[in-house]
Amino acid sequence: MKINNAVFAALAAAAAAICGCNNANDGAKKFVVGFDADFPPYGYKEGAEYKGFDLDLAREVCARKGWTFVANPINWDSKDMELNSGSIDCIWNGFTMQGRENAYTFSSAYVDNSQVVMVKVASPVMSLKDLAGKIVGVQTDTPVQKALGKDGEKNELGATFKQIVVMPNYNQAVQELEMGGVDAVALDVGVAKKKMADLPGKFRILEEIVMTETYGIGFKKGNTALRDEVEAVLRELAADGTMAKIAQAYGIEVNSLLLK
């Protein structure tokens, strides 16, 4: 039976949708990971290379599945559009599950994370209470931004601040902290520790945490087939120690890893 080009294209598109991944030119499946390139140690750019704990996990998943790995840096504000349009197969980049459970099909939690506050070493701020009247920076569309806002679970704390400054990424937030544009930055503990390691002697983390949370891989709502394929391999990585080895390479505490 002859199939014209339009029908063939439609069948190919349908097959791609069923498998859940894009197709590479060589016939292998492409697994396109959407991530924030300013979110070390989970995803970031170093020179011409994209690196990070989450990207290395995704690379290993692809290696074991025989897929072609594609790292696709995205504008964080556009992540839902990228996912729903099919431009990316998942959001894998220190992606907080809490508050987003109904918007995505998530993997099981694989990192136990906390939101902390980072200040300059010489700052008089020693506790969350000391943030009263201070200017605090946050990254846009993050759980801590929402939590500290008017209707958030930590709104009582946020209400004590002089101002909450929302920035496009944590690199800019930390630069503002270094230059004195903000008094503190509320952010993920892993990111804070990476910044402290990169800029030794400049910052410290308050002992009190703002909130706890967990990270998962976010897939398009309803895409359980691809989620299950990826999670099965992720569990292998956890069981054989590969996940912990990659975590150690990025200074992530192994006791923060989980997969239940």
Reported as a pLDDT band with limits 50, 70 and 90, residue 141 is confident
Average per-residue pLDDT for the chain: 89
The architecture CATH gives domain 114-213: 3-Layer(aba) Sandwich (3.40)
The 10s digit of each residue's pLDDT in 22-48 is 654 457 799 999 999 999 999 999 999
Q: What is the pTM of this model?
A: 0.74
- Chain CA centroid to CA 190, Å: 11
- Rg for the chain, CA atoms, rounded: 20
Tell me which DSSP letter residue 127 carries.
S
**pLDDT greater than 90 at residue 57:** yes
**Whole-angstrom Cα distance, residue 151 to residue 155?**
6
CATH superfamily, domain 5-110+216-256, is: Periplasmic binding protein-like II (3.40.190.10)
Tell me which DSSP letter residue 96 carries.
B
**Strand, helix or coil at 107?**
coil
Fold equal for 5-110+216-256 and 114-213: yes
Q: What's at 54, amino acid-wise? A: D
Query: What number is the average pLDDT over the span 67-84?
Result: 95
Domain ranges of the chain: 5-110+216-256, 114-213
Query: What number is the average pLDDT over the span 39-61?
Result: 95
Query: What number is the average pLDDT over the span 43-71?
Result: 96
